[in-house]
Amino acid sequence: MKKLNDKELLELIKTNVEKFNAYREKYPDQKINFERANFERGNLEHANFKKANLERANFEHANLEGVNLERANIDGINIDGANLEGVKIILTKEIIEAIKMAIL
């Protein structure tokens, strides 16, 4: 599998989370920038967003069950109505503030 840019990765995750995760395993050090990406109503179950930039991404009503958000930048994300069951996240002060802002 060749190395993909952020636009190609965005299309990949929206169409096939398993292939996206396989890509992440092959290129674990690649920086992923999904800033302001629209995942509204998407099925992202078990997606690996570890260390990804998700700043201001829209996850409204998305299925985020089992998603890995370890060390991801989630500043300003919209999780209104999203399924957050089993989400894996390491809580930092910044992440706690982002969650508070998303809830308010």
pLDDT at 25 (0 to 100) = 96
Tell me the three state secondary structure of residue 96: helix
CATH of the domain at 28: 2.160.20.80
Q: Which of the 8 DSSP states describes residue 57? A: -
What's this model's pTM, rounded to 2 decimal places? 0.84
In the chain, the number of structural domains is: 1
Distance CA 103, CA 86 (A): 18
Considering only CA atoms, which of 29, 75, 37, 72 is closest in space to residue 58?
Answer: 37
pLDDT at 95 (0 to 100) = 67
Q: Which domain holds residue 54?
A: 1-104
pLDDT tens series, the chain, 104 aa: 799 999 999 999 999 999 999 999 999 999 999 999 999 999 999 999 999 999 999 999 999 999 999 889 998 999 999 998 888 876 677 667 767 776 66
pLDDT at 100 (0 to 100) = 76
Using only C-alpha atoms, the chain has a radius of gyration, in whole angstroms, of 13
Q: Are 59 and 82 in contact (CB under 8 A)?
A: yes
